[in-house]
A and B are shown apart, each in its own frame.
Chain A
């Protein structure tokens, strides 16, 4: 009796035996799991990922506001024809403090030739008053403004973030975090060609 009940039924109908069905299902399951593991293995750690900017290759957005230090231009457009290093900063941000000597060195190198300059933009509008002391206390001579809408139009995440704008007004590079004067010079050199 048991034979008949466990045998595959007679001809006329195709029905996969249970074993083959389990094999197919486990094969599919195995492939899905393998694909998932491959994705995980190929994923970089988030701390090393830096997003690219959608602004690269496009014209720099209109950026103007009130001057923080009281001197220098208040509109990015006034600096067209020069290489502009647009630097988003805040006084409370330790990497911004750390990169200040590099920026001062860069400014000093290019102040005589006048072909390149830094243009500071305050990241946090509530920080504007403290920013004045932050900049003047470090003898920063470049123009810096407070433009509340600049963070969003430039796609800024966290300070310090900086962009290099070519004399034509096109954004050519973005940096997340602090930079050195040498990095900016190297970028200007490579994009000048």
Chain B
């Protein structure tokens, strides 16, 4: 590594190194979740059936309290989050879920934004390519230049109106 390379890239390499190390350490969860934290987290995935737009974690109505109790009892019995979801959806229907399911028609709401973003990026890339073609590589003529030249060449070589002979 030349001194010039180090001068240009050295600080950035250092930054990159610290970034990677920090992120690797940072995404490890050092304490496992307590039962209370798990109950709250799962309760947040369900609507409060008696409220106008709160989750079962936030609300204190009788139904929300009972949903949290049910989650707690089921977790203590060793059931998984998926089992709990099956139970609650069997009791209340899919409307109890705070987020739409990822199968069936409701998959659309998860997929459509991704498709839209990808389509937009593809569209923009095509536009950039088109603009680059119009500009042409530096030093080479663009498409419009070529058209002009073709048309000029296609005109018969006579006196162009008004131009003096010497300037041809």
A contacts B: CB pair < 8 Å: yes
Q: Which residues of B contact A94 (CB under 8 A)?
A: none
Q: B97: CB under 8 A from chain A?
A: no
For the complex, what is the distance from the CA of A38 to the CA of B138, rounded to whole Å?
52
Which of B63, B69, B151 is most buried by chain A, counting CB atoms within 10 A of its CB?
B63
Are B66 and A149 interface neighbours, CB within 8 A?
yes
- The listed residue (A9, A52, A125) touching B143 by CB distance below 8 A is A9
CB-CB under 8 A for A152 and B70, given A51-B93, A123-B62: yes
The secondary-structure label for the interface of chain A is: loop
Q: B95: CB under 8 A from chain A?
A: yes
For the complex, what is the distance from the CA of A154 to the CA of B87, rounded to whole Å?
11
Are A151 and B151 interface neighbours, CB within 8 A?
no
Are B91 and A4 interface neighbours, CB within 8 A?
no
Q: Which residues of A contact B14 (CB under 8 A)?
A: none
Q: A53: CB under 8 A from chain B?
A: yes
Are A54 and B91 interface neighbours, CB within 8 A?
yes
The secondary-structure label for the interface of chain B is: helix
Q: B88: CB under 8 A from chain A?
A: yes
Contact code string B65-87 (vs A, CB < 8 Å = 1, else 0): 01101100000000000000000
Q: A156: CB under 8 A from chain B?
A: yes
Are B62 and A10 interface neighbours, CB within 8 A?
no
Q: Which residues of B contact A55 (CB under 8 A)?
A: 91
Q: A155: CB under 8 A from chain B?
A: yes
- The listed residue (A4, A124, A153) touching B62 by CB distance below 8 A is A124
- 12 A–B contacts from the bound complex (CB under 8 Å): A4-B144, A51-B93, A51-B95, A125-B62, A148-B66, A148-B69, A152-B63, A152-B66, A153-B91, A154-B91, A155-B93, A158-B49
Chain B residues with a Cβ under 8 A of chain A: 49-50, 62-63, 66-67, 69-70, 88-93, 95, 143-144, 147-148, 150-151
